[in-house]
Amino acid sequence: MADEERLGPMRAQVYKDPRPKEHFDRFHERARRHQPDLMYEVVRIVTSLLSWIVFRARTIDADKVPASGPAILAPNHFSFMDHFFLGAAIRRKVRFMAKSQLFKRPMQFVFSHGGVFPVRRGHRDEEAFITAEAILAGGGCVAMYCEGGRSRTGQIGEVARPGIGRLALESGAPIVPVAVHGSSRVRNWRRLQFPKVTVQYGEPFAFERVPEPTREQQQAAADAILAEIRALYGRLDEVGREASLARARAERRARRAKRAAAA
Tens digits of per-residue pLDDT, 232-256? 999 999 999 999 999 999 998 998 8
Alpha-carbon separation of residue 109 from 39, 112, 237, 253, 262 (angstroms): 9, 5, 37, 42, 49
Work out the number of other CB atoms within 10 angstroms of the CB of residue 105. Answer: 6
Is pTM beyond 0.85 here? Answer: yes
Tens digits of per-residue pLDDT, 110-119? 999 999 999 9
CATH class of the domain whose range is 22-262? alpha beta
Alpha-carbon separation of residue 105 from 12, 112, 120, 121, 191 (angstroms): 20, 11, 17, 19, 29
Q: Write down the domain spans for the chain.
A: 22-262
How far apart, in Å, do the first and last CA atoms of the chain sit? 55
Residue 1: per-residue pLDDT: 37
